[in-house]
Structure 1
């Protein structure tokens, strides 16, 4: 495995480590083989775990301007539109499902945050959307 050269009191030693299992090491010193038992068990290294600290700012709810006549529903995350459950002219109340967005192999229901009537659909089923892309307008 590995070879080392030592000098102790002006005497040279060549140490070859032959094997290492648990706490037993087989080594060869200047041609003589020795089995060395370690007094403590060697700790095995673990794969480091990366820990990310929590976000310092709270999650932001969907921004709906109560004074605005038109409410813009945007994609909260990038994904693919799986289904659209509304059509232009539908009247919605808070909590009604408008569409299903697939992101990272998970289906996310996009629900109505403000009651109103659908004025425009800016997407179609199967379309890929980016984060903050306009999906639906309602009044």
Structure 2
């Protein structure tokens, strides 16, 4: 929360005020945590303090096994329509090559390869409307 530096009897102290709950302040003095009682009128907060119960894990949850993909996919970065396709199946591409141009929000946007590979299949054609994250091209 707040950091302070105090000098008491010639000794220097670095104090960080972590949190204040009711009349107890949680402070860290030179790396050591202390709970300090504050002698003042306790004002009740009008905002309720929300405390969530711990989430219970259901049987089988959290055990998702990811399959390694041999190839990769080029997905639409945003909704739009395919304006021009610059590659064909079987083309070898390098990282940064422009694969296609799509029109979105009245602008032409280039879709580039994120890694090297070979074009396995093209799932769209010129004039197709696509949504964000639609698969456009599959690579090997």
TM-score by length of 2: 0.51
Quote the residue 1:68 is aligned against: 69
- In the alignment, structure 2 segments of 5+ residues that lack a partner are 1-67
What is the distance in 2 between the residues matched to 1:114 and 1:69? 13
Question: How many residues in Structure 1 have an aligned counterpart in Structure 2?
Answer: 73
What is the distance in 1 between the residues matched to 2:113 and 2:131? 19
Show structure 1 runs of 4+ deviating over 6 A: none
TM-score by length of 1: 0.51
How far apart are 1:83 and its partner, in Å? 0.2
How far apart are 1:93 and its partner, in Å? 0.3
Quote the residue 1:81 is aligned against: 82
Quote the residue 1:94 is aligned against: 95
How far apart are 1:68 and its partner, in Å? 3.0
Quote the residue 1:123 is aligned against: 124
What is the distance in 2 between the residues matched to 1:68 and 1:124? 24
Deviations 1:23-82 (A, max 9, x none): xxxxxxxxxxxxxxxxxxxxxxxxxxxxxxxxxxxxxxxxxxxx6311011101000000
RMSD value over aligned CA atoms?
0.9
SS of 2:99's partner is strand
What is the distance in 1 between the residues matched to 2:96 and 2:103? 19
Larger Rg: 1 or 2? Answer: 1
